[in-house]
Structure 1
């Protein structure tokens, strides 16, 4: 069988399509492409004299992602970023994570613009020629919007989505109030989200972790999902911060209060002090923990819900259960449902959850761990690229050796050419963690660089806001070129960058 038939959600795909009365559309569904060739001069260029193979993988990811810039008649936003799965659908969860790498070349990759294919259809009056497959996918819009604006400096969009159209508030309310088993006209599948007093019931495919062993012993429908409540809290937190940015004090106050409610619930019911982990819980009192260790436990950390002691335990959990040479398996290796073949979400290494957990560690200052695991993951992707045919980037990765993960069974591999969110590794994690440019803020005009490599390395033509800069470290010297002023923090020490070329002397910590 052609491995391309083993697509994501693949072990459910054919049955789901059959139940929905749908069939895969031919590639001719797309209007004639209007894009030209990829312009690499509009993309940051990494420099790593000690690891050129990772740089090669970086450019391969951009090339594959370029193939996912699609045009489609009848869509509110065209072109848009296609996730690389089905021609007849768009996915909230995939699109949200793709924005994290699209932001590095926003003139070519319509990441944030693709959100209009959800906003204007779900919360406006537009129709669309493609279905939103799971409208109760993780509610990540506000987190992504805030992150994107910090990087690009474009806060004008906030007034449109928060004040004029109220898309973020409407989506927050949607996740709060939608009833399970609702089938909207614009949707490819029915919903499963249901809010109750202390949490959300959900389901594997809607959560994005299709065949996860979470809920073992009680079933998906009988747990409150830790990611759902943390993600909704994350949405409230970012709506509040967006409102603060544009001076909407009333909305900021309202959503800060909503965030606090979720934060208190998460720490009261979902935290396990002995294990140092957040878990899903049984829906029946006394709300016992359903102890399946997955990266979903790091969503509360990303949402800044844990204190310093809890964060320290989560960092240790990251190293103990999700670390090693092949980090971030989607269930810990000591779990009875862990599959050495990957088996999709029963051990497969997925870039969205790996990236999320990496950003969670960074929130509490665990940059060394975040960077080490990121390097190991990108190296694993490169090893798979070299040692497995076809030589490409995959949907998910084997947690034990350099091959792709299997799909829902133990034969047949996940989807190839998946950039798609798998570009997060070779692009975003390479820039932010392997190279160390972990925080770029166009609003404050700041770049924070954790310089931790010993080779000549850095980045050329990094664009943020209205600034283009190149920063290269070589020995005890950092050479900077910029067309605008900003503050460059190298391992915490501030350097004032002026327009033109400059050289800074530094004390290496490696």
Structure 2
């Protein structure tokens, strides 16, 4: 048996209980449109038009697994090529949560768990139709950790039939002995954000059973990354980390994003563990033991990141090179320190200053992945040299919310929403990425990209344009109204198994008449200016809120 056949024969998915395909019939957009959340924004019909276009494209990218693939659930595709991608799919789930019963959003991740190796590794890219791994990123020879593509942009054009010699590949120096080589190359072991996606989904769906199903494969995945890509300093190594041609790449050793993501991973697992202790009859002692270890890991790694990657003189986080020196490039990767909770309040304030600086990240379309004052920044986008991407914006926005910068989070989200909608009106489509200095499609080449680009026209419209956001941990919906919006709301807002109609009609005196109907009891917190009112919504309620 050759190496490829040996690899294909490896046991997979042993930690995930779903072993065979089982799902509901795959719906078509036309069949479910009248069941999806229906946003209302009378002053912005262009918002609504783009919203429905995004859902229509998303439904075109739904798939039933082929019998040969071994995938176990229907899924939404990344819309990039004929492969499925872990980090793309994780971000796609974040807007699919709004329509959880009607689209295979979070269930799309099942097809990664069912391909997990016995040591916990999960590949970040697999072939959509066959279920096979993307073979250039498989460590067939079980050599020590290495990167196949490393920093070579244009890697998709490389000959896939010829593998470079091991001596020519990038081999990070972990500074410690790793006795068992990984199944995958370093290219395939980055952006471990599955636990974050599961936690975000839970906060909207309230699905405890799903958390119980994914906790074990997630924990095993976390342990595998600790074993294979952590260096002796405690940081985590990376190569191009999906930011294909970013100017940071020639300096990469220990990655700021992957290191912060491992802190985020640990803390999300702790959050999941707390829910399981409260709601299930699982092995409580084992869960508590794992949570204690995860907490210790997160604290220790945060300390190392702040010691080695924070530059107090510049007020910014940087990657670390193989020689231990900080890389000289300011990139969006620094903001993983917010969503992960690595930064303290003072460090967060410094990072916010950079976000507000027109010379770096506060461009016409926010937020570029590379600071505008860095060599190599491309004002027309240039893929990862300067483009604005939905996933990195979502990471930044959630991080800002975590540190109390909700005003800036809203400003960035609405800026991104407005620009995506304007460009949709001009071009008739939604793009993979956008230029930071022009309100057009720049040099992006992938249209109809929903895909993670559905975040702005779907999620940001509901959460920041209209201002509605649910939190299943509190059984609470917060609705932030703004003066001058006119009539806004959302019918069929699906939240934690509940369907809710919300309508706010602005009056001449600036107050709003609220009409809300809920199938099941839910707390509704309405905010307008300094005014805040909380009601228990059950059935139909009408009230007036004045700022």
Distance 1:237 1:446 in 2: 22
**Corresponding residue number in structure 2 for 1:169:** 219
**Residue correspondence of structure 1 range 284-363 to structure 2 within 5 A:** 284=323, 287-320=324-357, 321-363=360-402
**Corresponding residue number in structure 2 for 1:112:** 106
- 1:341–1:398: 8 Å Cα contact kept in structure 2? yes
| Structure whose CA Rg is larger | 2
> Shift in Å at residue 453 of structure 1?
4.7
User: Which digits, 9 at most, give the CA deviation of each residue in 1:249-273, with x for residues without a partner?
Assistant: 2222221111111211121221122
Distance 1:48 1:472 in 2: 10
- 2:231–2:237: 8 Å Cα contact kept in structure 1? yes
Partner of 2:378: helix, strand, or coil? coil
Partner of 1:224: helix, strand, or coil? coil
Partner of 2:100: helix, strand, or coil? coil
> Shift in Å at residue 148 of structure 1?
0.8
Are the structure 2 counterparts of residues 308 and 269 from structure 1 closer, same or farther at C-alpha, using a change threshold of 3 Å?
same
Distance 1:336 1:197 in 2: 29
> Shift in Å at residue 399 of structure 1?
1.6
CA RMSD of aligned residues (A): 2.1
**Residue correspondence of structure 1 range 180-219 to structure 2 within 5 A:** 193=229, 195-204=231-240, 207-216=241-250, 219=251
Distance 1:361 1:265 in 2: 22
User: Which digits, 9 at most, give the CA deviation of each residue in 1:117-158, with x for residues without a partner?
Assistant: 111112469998234445313000111111111211111122
For residue 304 of structure 2, the aligned residue among 252, 265, 276 is 265
**Corresponding residue number in structure 1 for 2:188:** 135
**Corresponding residue number in structure 2 for 1:99:** 93
Moved over 4 A (4+): 124-128
- 1:44–1:459: 8 Å Cα contact kept in structure 2? yes
- 2:239–2:249: 8 Å Cα contact kept in structure 1? no
- 1:92–1:137: 8 Å Cα contact kept in structure 2? no
> Shift in Å at residue 71 of structure 1?
1.8
Structure 2 residue 28 is the aligned partner of structure 1 residue 36: yes
Structure 2 residue 75 is the aligned partner of structure 1 residue 80: yes
**Corresponding residue number in structure 2 for 1:500:** 539
For residue 433 of structure 2, the aligned residue among 380, 383, 396 is 396
Distance 2:364 2:483 in 1: 18
Question: Mean alpha-carbon deviation: is it higher for 419-428 or for 397-406?
Answer: 397-406
Distance 1:313 1:75 in 2: 47
Distance 1:257 1:34 in 2: 43
Distance 1:382 1:268 in 2: 42
- 2:28–2:59: 8 Å Cα contact kept in structure 1? no
TM-score, normalised by the number of residues in structure 1:
0.82
Are the structure 2 counterparts of residues 450 and 324 from structure 1 closer, same or farther at C-alpha, using a change threshold of 3 Å?
farther
TM-score, normalised by the number of residues in structure 2:
0.77
Distance 2:206 2:416 in 1: 30
